[in-house]
Amino acid sequence: MNRDQRFSFEFFPPKTDAGKEKLKLVSAELNALGPDFFSVTYGAGGSTRANTKDTVISMNAAGISTVPHLSFGNDDEQVILDLLREYKAAGISRIVALRGDVPSGMGAQRLIYAEELVQFIRDHTGDHFQLEVAAYPEVHPDAKGPENDIEFLKRKFDAGANSAITQYFYNVEAYFYFVEQCQKNGIDRPIYPGIMPITNYHNLARFSKSCGAEIPRWICQRLESFGNDSESVQEFGIEVVTQLCQRLLAEGAPGIHFYTMNQVEPNRQIWKNLGI
Ligand code: FAD
């Protein structure tokens, strides 16, 4: 594989002491593979504000290049400004800027479009941060349509985003068609595919429904046929996701962002299969 391509791993911030200890081991093992960076998600509405920040700062202190996700949620500008200052002081120079989804149970909250957060970060910190935004090859569930969704992605770039990471997908054609349409609409920045390894069919199916990602029928049929045989699910998942990544990288994707679910495997196995 070409190491001009960029590879990153995503974690969610652990809530418990046991989760924190486990993440130290997982991050050390995945860091040994030599990714470009790790990112840590942020619960919109500030539900993980402290956990995300602590995870990002302690991983950086351990020598693991790690960046935060961020969204406005219901926070006022000062809260976001303080976080930006702390990240800057900690030597962090990249942020994944999002609108976010409010976690269930947090009641009605205002959601501020990612474009406004990108603009806010640029207005207050200039060019200090590399800004990543989210992109949706299979169309964001709230979008009025594919054209409209790409128009808003373009606005995030016009506001100062440097690159995008996609929602996960298993249809390789959806990604390349999307990138082509983005280019036709004047987007010339890299769009990194986000890839979700397959470990548990029911969890994946539930999550995919809410975020608008399609699991192709042939993959569903195979996964269903394995029933509770988790070994076969893992084996098939590794095979399918490796092939997906191979095609993406061979056909011009600028790299890959792995949604790790805080697990070493199957991420490490897929990485090794790719020969990165
Ligand atoms: P936006 O870009 O603001 O778009 C949201 C929707 O509104 C889209 O349908 C868009 O077409 C539309 N839209 C955008 N701008 C406008 C406008 N000005 N006027 C009208 N409509 C508009 N969620 C979390 O809660 N925490 C995370 O850490 C997190 N990390 C993620 C990382 C990646 C790489 C990805 C792909 C997603 C992540 N998400 C995360 C999920 C994401 O927050 C949701 O998909 C959310 O619903 C949309 O966020 P966004 O930044 O894409 O929103």
Q: What is the DSSP string of 97-147?
A: EE---PPTTS-------HHHHHHHHHHHHTTSSEEEEEE-TT--TT-S-HH
How much is the pLDDT for 73? 86
Q: How far apart are CA 204 and CA 276, in angstroms?
A: 26
Q: Measuring from each residue's beta carbon to the nearest atom of ligand 1, which residues come in under 6 Å?
A: 41-44, 69, 96, 98-101, 113-115, 134, 140, 142-143, 148-149, 152, 156, 165-167, 194
Is 86 designated active site?
A: no
52, HSE (Cβ side, Cα atoms, 13 Å) = 24
The set of residues, in sequence order, having a beta carbon less than 8 Å from that of 99 and lying 6+ positions away, is 44, 71, 72, 111, 112, 113, 114, 117
Section 81-94 average pLDDT = 97
Q: What is the pLDDT of residues 225-238, one digit of tens each?
A: 999 999 999 999 99
pLDDT band, residue 242 (cuts 50/70/90): very high
Take atom 26 of ligand 1 and give the residue whose Cα is closest: 42
Q: Classify residue 137 as exposed, middle or buried by CB count within 10 Å of its CB (0-12, 13-18, 19+).
A: buried
CA distances in angstroms from 130 to 32, 34, 103, 171, listed in the order given: 24, 20, 26, 28
> Pick the catalytic residue: 10, 115, 132, 138?
10
Distance 84 CA to ligand 1 centre (A): 20
How much is the pLDDT for 111? 81
Per the CB < 8 A criterion, the answer to whether 262 and 32 are in contact is no
Per the CB < 8 A criterion, the answer to whether 272 and 241 are in contact is no
Q: What is the DSSP string of 6-36?
A: EEEEEE----SHHHHHHHHHHHHHHHTT--S
Q: What is the pLDDT of residues 183-219, one digit of tens each?
A: 999 999 999 999 999 999 999 999 999 999 999 999 9
User: Angle 187-214-276 (CA atoms, 0-180°, nearest 5)?
Assistant: 65
Choose the residue to mutate in 113, 168, 196, 208 for probing ligand 1, maximizing ligand atoms within 8 Å of C-beta: 113
Q: How far apart are CA 28 and CA 26, in angstroms?
A: 5
What angle, rounded to 10 degrees, do the helices at 17-31 and 49-61 form?
A: 40
pLDDT band, residue 44 (cuts 50/70/90): confident
Distance 99 CA to ligand 1 centre (A): 5
Distance 90 CA to ligand 1 centre (A): 26
216: preceding bond cis by omega (within 30 degrees): no
Question: What are the residue ranges of helices labelled H in 40-97?
Answer: 49-61, 77-89
Distance 12 CA to ligand 1 centre (A): 17
Q: What domains, with CATH codes, occur in the chain?
A: 6-274 (3.20.20.220)
The set of residues, in sequence order, having a beta carbon less than 8 Å from that of 275 and lying 6+ positions away, is 1
Distance 121 CA to ligand 1 centre (A): 16
Choose the residue to mutate in 47, 140, 185 for probing ligand 1, maximizing ligand atoms within 8 Å of C-beta: 140
Q: How far apart are CA 93 and CA 65, in angstroms?
A: 10
Q: Is the pLDDT of residue 108 over 70?
A: no
Per the CB < 8 A criterion, the answer to whether 22 and 263 are in contact is no
Token pair, residue 146, equals 């594919």
Give the predicted TM-score (pTM) of the model. 0.97
CA 118 to chain centre: 16
